[in-house]
A and B are shown apart, each in its own frame.
Chain A
């Protein structure tokens, strides 16, 4: 799953809340029961088991050996783990930062210029086309790109040779210097449509009078965008940044199908590293340690985002 829209938490009228609670809220607990049971079995128990396993040495069969903090100590000195963390930052840039900024500019251009001065239909067709990669399963999109980027038969290098730029042809995913940058470029292609769609919807609920007033007062397009529009669509910007950041921290399918973390560890990411530890190296304790660290990071990022979002909403 690439992204998840989140509703900005609703502020409730306190009157309605008390009335509801007064009517015996306890009796509704029955309706919560199935979710609580399933949630416990599928999420809570595995989560705790995973944290516990991270303090043990285990191949997946036989008894776990208590190892204390040994796995965490190993992690701290593991250059492959640190490389995977740096790559994650690069993926946050490619999936959250760049698409948010570019998406904002493109949504504003589509909304302000194309829809108003050309035609709303042109704007919505362009929007639909830019969104198209988002509906693909990641694995399908990754297969398409590994085919395009194939050093011998791939469309990219063939095209370069055809137009006489053969000296530029390059095994982009096979060269440790270009592999990560190539993955980042592909991720931008994939992710861009999501902020464009969200921001265009956001712009529709902004007050056009504010922007027009600023325009008449001589504000440039850029000033209007940053001072007038951005503050009005701040909730959507938070939603996009949060969901895209979380998605980039969870990147797995792209790496699985494009590079397997290679060449060497040039595109290794934590999720793929823990997958390899679990199912290839049979070092389940170590895989759980990587997974525990990623869980903590993602929970921390979500909590901080939600906290900032609520503060701004109030």
Chain B
């Protein structure tokens, strides 16, 4: 009996520690794939600060022999990039806060209040989040024109608040569905009303989930393209992706400014990625656990 056990332990030890040729081969394959994934990033870094003369003489693969910021500057001015950045921050920032607030309210009714028919309501919200935006765009464009909101950031903020909150309600309701009932009962005993329980008990306890939602809504809204492209026609209102996309669409960019443009487009999201990496890994998986 104890002999078998020891043998099993030994086998297990051997199996988990062995670095045979197969293991090295797997590592090599994964490193090659990862390197392949990173090539575009490396190319941007290699070319964003390359002097134009060198680019035309030696192409995109040569190692830069100087530090040249002209390409980036040129693009920054053509695209009015500072303004685009500010617009993106304003829109994504407003949407993430408003959408989290809206999600809290409706998830309180659905997850804790257990309003009748909540399964159907949640299903509708989830599917609303999946809907193709071309199925909403023209009527929204029409309505916005009538309401005088066309080509305003407010229109985009309202639309994305609802779209993100549709998903947020779905996620938060299923999280609040498991909220400890004892806490609610205790607060009720102490004479707290529904509103007080929401802001003083439910919200503080769910803060980690709310944080994840906040980050996700910010990044998702930042990356949106289709609806902002339709709604924000004047340069002064455009977000980063729309500003980049319209320039690309007009074929104004040359290979020199493109790498600068790409760098400016990549940098903010890499910064978000680094700042929020912990929250993001937690958030990416928050959907699939349970």
In contact, A126 and B30 (Cβ under 8 angstroms)? yes
Q: A109-B26, A147-B259, A291-B132 are in contact. Are A278 and B114 (CB under 8 A)?
A: no
With CB as the reference atom, state the residue of chain A lying closest to B159.
Answer: A42
0/1 per residue, B139-170, Cβ < 8 Å to A?
11011000000000000001101110111011
In contact, A106 and B30 (Cβ under 8 angstroms)? yes
In contact, A32 and B174 (Cβ under 8 angstroms)? no
B191 within 8 A of A: no
B284 within 8 A of A: yes
Query: Which of B59, B133, B139, B244 has the most chain A CB atoms closer than 10 A to its own CB?
Result: B139
Q: A32-B105, A139-B244 are in contact. Are A109 and B134 (CB under 8 A)?
A: no
A5 to B105, CA, bound (A): 21
A34 to B167, CA, bound (A): 15
A6 within 8 A of B: yes
A205 to B111, CA, bound (A): 25
Main secondary structure of the interface of B (DSSP, over half): helix
In contact, A50 and B136 (Cβ under 8 angstroms)? yes
In contact, A294 and B171 (Cβ under 8 angstroms)? no
In contact, A31 and B109 (Cβ under 8 angstroms)? yes
In contact, B61 and A132 (Cβ under 8 angstroms)? no
A229 within 8 A of B: no
Rounded to whole Å, the gap between the CB of B130 and the closest CB of chain A is: 5
Which of A21, A38, A155, A252 interacts with B61 by CB under 8 Å?
A: A155
In contact, B37 and A46 (Cβ under 8 angstroms)? no
In contact, B287 and A34 (Cβ under 8 angstroms)? no
A7 to B108, CA, bound (A): 17
A136 to B240, CA, bound (A): 12
Which of B12, B167, B225, B261 interacts with A138 by CB under 8 Å?
A: B225
Query: Which of A12, A25, A278 has the most chain B CB atoms closer than 10 A to its own CB?
Result: A25
A92 within 8 A of B: no
Rounded to whole Å, the gap between the CB of B32 and the closest CB of chain A is: 11
Contact stretch, chosen from A71-79, A111-119, A167-175, A176-184: A111-119
Compute the total of residue contacts between A and B using a CB distance below 8 Å.
337
Within 8 A of A (CB), among B249-290: 249, 253, 255, 258-259, 261-262, 265-266, 269-270, 272-273, 277, 281, 283-290
In contact, B285 and A46 (Cβ under 8 angstroms)? no
**Chain B residues within 8 Å of A162, by CB:** 59, 61
A190 to B61, CA, bound (A): 22
B127 within 8 A of A: yes
B5 within 8 A of A: no
**Chain B residues within 8 Å of A94, by CB:** none
In contact, B226 and A291 (Cβ under 8 angstroms)? no
A117 to B18, CA, bound (A): 6
In contact, B23 and A46 (Cβ under 8 angstroms)? no
Rounded to whole Å, the gap between the CB of B126 and the closest CB of chain A is: 7
A39 to B128, CA, bound (A): 9
A8 within 8 A of B: yes
Within 8 A of A (CB), among B1-56: 8, 11-12, 15-19, 22-23, 26-27, 29-31, 33-34, 36-38, 40-41, 43-44
In contact, A1 and B223 (Cβ under 8 angstroms)? yes
A101 within 8 A of B: no
**Chain B residues within 8 Å of A159, by CB:** 61
Q: A43-B162, A116-B16, A271-B132 are in contact. Are A110 and B30 (CB under 8 A)?
A: yes
In contact, B289 and A205 (Cβ under 8 angstroms)? yes
In contact, B37 and A7 (Cβ under 8 angstroms)? no
In contact, A32 and B265 (Cβ under 8 angstroms)? no
Rounded to whole Å, the gap between the CB of A303 and the closest CB of chain B is: 8
Rounded to whole Å, the gap between the CB of B17 and the closest CB of chain A is: 7
With CB as the reference atom, state the residue of chain A lying closest to B122.
Answer: A9
In contact, A117 and B262 (Cβ under 8 angstroms)? no
**Chain B residues within 8 Å of A17, by CB:** 114
Within 8 A of B (CB), among A3-42: 4-10, 12, 16-17, 19-21, 25-32, 34-35, 38-39, 41-42
In contact, A7 and B132 (Cβ under 8 angstroms)? no
With CB as the reference atom, state the residue of chain B lying closest to A299.
Answer: B127
Contact residues of A with B, CB < 8 Å?
A: 1-2, 4-10, 12, 16-17, 19-21, 25-32, 34-35, 38-39, 41-43, 45-47, 49-50, 53, 60, 106, 109-110, 113-114, 116-118, 122, 126, 128-130, 132-133, 135-148, 150, 153-155, 158-159, 162, 189, 192-194, 197-198, 201-202, 205, 212, 215-216, 235-236, 239, 246, 249-250, 252-253, 256-257, 260, 270-271, 274-275, 278-279, 284, 287-288, 290-292, 294-295, 298-299, 302-303, 306
A32-B113, A38-B158, A118-B23 given; 11 more Cβ-contact pairs under 8 Å: A7-B174, A32-B121, A46-B139, A139-B241, A140-B269, A146-B258, A154-B60, A162-B61, A192-B37, A256-B245, A271-B226
Q: Can you spell out 25 A-B residue pairs with CB atoms less than 8 angstroms apart?
A: A1-B220, A7-B290, A10-B177, A31-B105, A31-B108, A32-B109, A32-B113, A38-B165, A45-B139, A46-B140, A49-B139, A126-B31, A129-B37, A132-B38, A137-B269, A141-B40, A143-B245, A144-B266, A148-B43, A155-B59, A155-B61, A162-B61, A197-B285, A236-B288, A250-B132
User: What 6 pairs between A and B have smallest CB-CB spacing?
Assistant: A5-B287, A28-B113, A140-B265, A46-B139, A201-B285, A49-B139
